Amino acid sequence: MHTIENLQLNSQGKLQHFLSIEGLDKSLLTEILDTAESFAYISEQQVKKFPLLRGKTIVNLFFENSTRTRATFELAATRLSADVLSMNIATSATSKGESLLDTIRNLEAMQVDMFVVRHSLSGAAHFIAQHAAPHISVINAGDGRHEHPTQAMLDMFTIRRAKQQFSGLRVAIVGDILHSRVARSQIHALSILGAEEVRVIAPKTLLPAEVESLGVSVYHNLAAGLKNIDVIIMLRLQKERMNSALLPSESEYFKCFGLSNDKLTIANKDAIVMHPGPINRGVEISSSVADGPQSVILQQVTNGIAVRMAVMSMVMRRKTGTE
Ligand code: NCD
């Protein structure tokens, strides 16, 4: 039985699946960022196609809704010349375990090469990677509250482009950390890449119990937490994952934890503002900040394509012999 960590890597230490940031090392994350730089260059040319995955079939298996992630995975695959099948499979209480495996077996029978999986259950992508045929690569596009590794890498790419390096950087992640797979992946990636400090800023009800064990400092006051900060990552309130009232009201939340222009001036002058999307204007971020000069929110979306091209090409490399 493979462990979660080594399931992602083959015997030469190369990526064969991309399931979580946890368990990867700095050189591998840096390789993803450097590979993405070359794909970002291609994406800026008139002809955006590259024949690296010609003849390969990639299945986007989305058991949960998505706009940005699904669209950018699809564009990344087509820019690498792969054939792409995008499936939107609504989650139902019974579509777990064997029925998930049945879906996979049927798609495998169609001779596909890669699954890009989003699922509301933590561990779903690992489960598929453990059970899929050995030639198939699995990329986690978000599993429950666990991880969203390609989102974290496009965020790291955006940070590196804006700030050049991770050493010395102070990063604040603000909002619904409890339900956020993005925050979990970002915290791992920032610590592996050597950021100086990662702060989480949230009300107590929106923080997981074990959060300090991830190596972050915890703040419950936005103004205090934003001092000396270089990168601010705002998170959406994931109401679809809240099964009880964790907050008084949205307007109260905005007053305490929403990023307005006033609050933004507390951070370093050249701080960048990020958000994985979808944004809720007036709930966690004001429109003037989201659309303002310090926001890199749309650059994150653009960078998502190059980063996903990088990850897809790296997991397929062991089979295409292009090393
Ligand atoms: C995030 C997700 O789905 O985890 N969005 C994304 O992938 N761009 C965050 C969210 O839904 O708030």
Cα(58)–Cα(56) distance, integer angstroms = 7
Nearest atom (ligand 1) to Cα of 277: 8
Nearest atom (ligand 1) to Cα of 180: 4
228-239 pLDDT, tens digit per residue, is: 999 999 999 987
Q: Residue 244 class from Cβ within 10 Å (0-12 exposed, 13-18 middle, 19+ buried)?
A: exposed
DSSP letter for each residue of 183-232: HHHHHHHHHHHT-SEEEEE--GGGS-TTGGGGT-EEES-HHHHHTT-SEE
Structure tokens at 239: 């109401």
Most informative mutation of 62, 67, 148, 237 for ligand 1 (most atoms within 8 A of CB): 148
Most informative mutation of 182, 236, 303 for ligand 1 (most atoms within 8 A of CB): 182
Over its C-alpha atoms, the chain yields an Rg (Å, rounded) of 19
Give residue 238's pLDDT.
86
Structure tokens at 268: 């370093």
Where does the pLDDT of residue 320 fall: very low under 50, low under 70, confident under 90, or very high at 90 and above? very low
Which residue shows structure tokens 């596009």?
Answer: 141
Kindly compute the dihedral angle of the four CA atoms of residues 161, 162, 166, 169, in this order, to the nearest 10 degrees.
-170
Sign of CA dihedral 252, 65, 36, 19: positive
Give residue 2's pLDDT.
47
Give residue 323's pLDDT.
45
241-251 pLDDT, tens digit per residue, is: 776 667 778 88
Does ligand 1 lie within 6 Å of residue 142's CB atom? Answer: yes
Over residues 280-303, the mean pLDDT reads 97
Pairing of strands 170-174, 114-119: unpaired
Q: Which helix (H) or strand (E) holds 73?
A: helix 68-79
Kindly compute the dihedral angle of the four CA atoms of residues 39, 77, 49, 67, in this order, to the nearest 10 degrees.
-80
Give residue 127's pLDDT.
94
Give residue 306's pLDDT.
97
69-119 pLDDT, tens digit per residue, is: 999 999 999 999 999 999 877 654 445 555 788 889 989 999 999 999 999
Does ligand 1 lie within 6 Å of residue 151's CB atom? Answer: yes
Over residues 305-316, the mean pLDDT reads 97
Instruction: Check: CB of residue 42 under 8 Å from CB of residue 50.
Output: yes
Most informative mutation of 151, 285, 308 for ligand 1 (most atoms within 8 A of CB): 151
- Domains belonging to the chain, first-starting first, are 4-146+302-320 (3.40.50.1370), 149-296 (3.40.50.1370)
Structure tokens at 33: 């960022």
Which residue shows structure tokens 């462990």?
Answer: 3
3-state DSSP call for residue 177?
A: coil
Ligand 1 centre from 196 Cα, in Å? Answer: 25
Give residue 193's pLDDT.
98
Q: Comparing 38-47, 130-139, 229-238, which segment has the lowest mean pLDDT?
A: 38-47
- Strand ranges of the sheet holding 114-119, from the earlier edge strand across to the other edge: 83-88, 57-62, 114-119, 137-143
Give residue 244's pLDDT.
67
Does ligand 1 lie within 6 Å of residue 199's CB atom? Answer: no
Give residue 93's pLDDT.
43
Candidates 149, 100, 92; CA nearest to 127 is 100
pTM of the model: 0.94
- Percentage of residues in the chain with pLDDT exceeding 70? 93
Average pLDDT, the chain: 92
Q: Residue 123 class from Cβ within 10 Å (0-12 exposed, 13-18 middle, 19+ buried)?
A: middle
Does ligand 1 lie within 6 Å of residue 275's CB atom? Answer: no
Does ligand 1 lie within 6 Å of residue 177's CB atom? Answer: no
pLDDT score of 289 more than 70: yes
Which residue shows structure tokens 């099948």?
Answer: 85
Give residue 90's pLDDT.
66
- Strand ranges of the sheet holding 272-274, from the earlier edge strand across to the other edge: 217-219, 197-201, 170-174, 231-234, 272-274
Does ligand 1 lie within 6 Å of residue 119's CB atom? Answer: no
* Of 46 and 130, the one with more pLDDT: 130
Give residue 243's pLDDT.
66
